[in-house]
Amino acid sequence: MSAPRLAVVGHPNKGKSSLVATLAEDDSVGIGPTPGTTLRTREYPMTVDGRLLYTLIDTPGFQRARRVLAWLEERATAQQATAADRPRLVAEFVAEPGHAERFPDECELLRPLVEGAGILYVVDGGVPYGPEYEPEMEVLRWTGRPSLAVVNPIGRRDHVPEWEAALGQFFRVVRVIDALHADFETRRQLLLAFGELESGWRAPIEEAVAVLDAARDQRRRETALEIAHFVADGLALATERKLGPTEDATAHETELEAEYRRKLDALESAHRTRVQRLHGHRELEATASALELLEQDLFDEGTWLAFGLRRRDLVTVGAIGGAATGGVIDASVGGASFLIGTAVGGAVGGVLAWLGAGRLAELSVIDRPLGGRLARFGPSKNPNFPFVLFGRARFHASLVAARTHARRDVMELAAGSEGSALPLDASHQRSLARVFAALRKFAPGSPRHRAAIDELTGIAEAILAEDAAGASMG
């Protein structure tokens, strides 16, 4: 089974390159606001694990379709050609000496069709339909190639119905797809529609879709694993300075806290870059700093409120965390340290956790077994801290997963949403509280710590799948 080849054609500046970028999941496709950005055909193979699934061909827009159609009709009359001869006449047009200079755009876009590619014709549903489009649609019909039309509403959808009515007279299949915002399921259904255009395409297209489904699931698993490691690393993060025998540790507190913040920022930045690259967004790294809420200081009160838990939820998960750690909770409130037994540790620990929720981490002095002292800032025991890390990572992942590769704008949160679109239900809160407590209790690298990372990965994967399903339904 050969991988299908699909040429994306149409008027200039109607979203052809955007659709190519979205379907090929390739952010290297050139997209510009002015007509004529695409001057030559360029192929974008869709591959998964080195396996070619299909090839999309970006083409220049029609410029002289009426003159091309006139040439074809004149040649058909001279040869007394029938409809069966039309594909051959299109091939003769492309091969005609001088046409590459007189009709450069038409020769470029028709050549892959002559060579056997299918047609994906793109129009803008935000502008009125007009008869000027009919010559190019008629030229495409002369190629005899299987064809599908896409109405891409750029900005508005006012004229979609009239486009659907007109396109239905020239193309077997018509779909309405916003190339900039098409979700995975929309793209999936468009690919399946290609399989209906030609008998030899159904099997390879269905196989390609199955591979893409598996690749999406694998990408989600890898993203969940990245989130789990990020949270685990954040919970273990600490900064240290050697102390002299009588040196006051508090003299280093400001410096150690500043270093702690820098390291945590770097940890989160590296995590985001890895997640973006997992989803094929190589060019997104430069714009990530413009995220409205995600780029607030991680330690800002607004971030805690947006991605952390409410007071009553913290009390509940604090109790779970206390039980999960065997009832030993070290919560610093007003300088007092509490060691609480299992009978009351959970509930009281939750209350103390909320009272100390504004404190990120504490300075402590460590006596080393072989002598010497250390001033250490962190790790954070704040109960809200892992929920904030997880919430920010989850929200970032949901944005990246939903973002098409055609978009060139800055990735931003919807105004006023402040993370409220991604709540955590009580079941997930309890599961996360238990695994966060385990990550804090067991030494990094130990079998039980690795088991906790595995468990967090599974929880994160389930939550990401729910987020994707909710976004698709929305």
pLDDT class of 85 with cuts at 50, 70, 90: very high
Task: Return the higher-pLDDT residue of 87 and 23.
Answer: 87
Partner residues linked to 365 by β-bridges: 375
pLDDT class of 464 with cuts at 50, 70, 90: very high
- Report the DSSP pairing between strands 373-377 and 363-367: antiparallel
Q: How many CA atoms lie within 13 A of 124 on its CB side?
A: 16
For domain 5-197, say whether CATH 3.30.750.80 is its number: no
Average pLDDT, the chain: 82
Distance CA 161, CA 176 (A): 10
Residue 344 clears pLDDT 90, i.e. is over it: no
The 10s digit of each residue's pLDDT in 209-252 is 888 899 899 999 999 999 999 999 999 999 999 998 888 989 99
pTM: 0.81
Task: Return the higher-pLDDT residue of 84 and 292.
Answer: 84
Residue 417 clears pLDDT 50, i.e. is over it: no
Entry field: residues in the chain: 474
pLDDT class of 321 with cuts at 50, 70, 90: low
The 10s digit of each residue's pLDDT in 1-14 is 578 899 999 887 77
Q: What is the pLDDT of residue 172?
A: 85
Q: What is the pLDDT of residue 294?
A: 60
Q: What is the pLDDT of residue 226?
A: 98
Mean pLDDT computed over 257-283: 89
CA 76 to chain CA centroid, Å, is 49
Q: What is the pLDDT of residue 337?
A: 29
Residue 311 clears pLDDT 70, i.e. is over it: no
The 10s digit of each residue's pLDDT in 361-395 is 888 888 887 778 899 998 998 888 899 899 989 98
Tokens of 207: 């196989």
Q: What is the pLDDT of residue 474?
A: 57
Q: Decide: 422 and 391 in contact? Cβ < 8 Å.
A: yes
Q: What is the pLDDT of residue 334?
A: 29
Distance CA 58, CA 132 (A): 22
Domain extents for the chain?
5-197, 220-473
The 10s digit of each residue's pLDDT in 152-206 is 988 788 899 999 999 999 998 999 998 888 888 888 898 899 888 888 888 888 8
Lowest mean pLDDT among 277-286, 398-407, 416-425: 416-425
Residue 257, classified by CB atoms within 10 Å of its CB into exposed (0-12), middle (13-18) or buried (19+), is middle
- CA dist 400 → 49, 276, 392, 464 (Å): 21, 6, 12, 11
The 10s digit of each residue's pLDDT in 54-75 is 888 989 989 999 999 999 999 9
Tokens of 134: 């009919």
- Quote the Cα angle for 97-103-109, to 5°: 105
Q: Looking up tokens 């190639």, which residue turns up?
A: 145
Task: Return the higher-pLDDT residue of 378 and 312.
Answer: 378
Q: What is the pLDDT of residue 278?
A: 92
Distance CA 186, CA 190 (A): 6
Distance CA 318, CA 434 (A): 9
Residue 335 clears pLDDT 70, i.e. is over it: no
Q: What is the pLDDT of residue 129?
A: 93
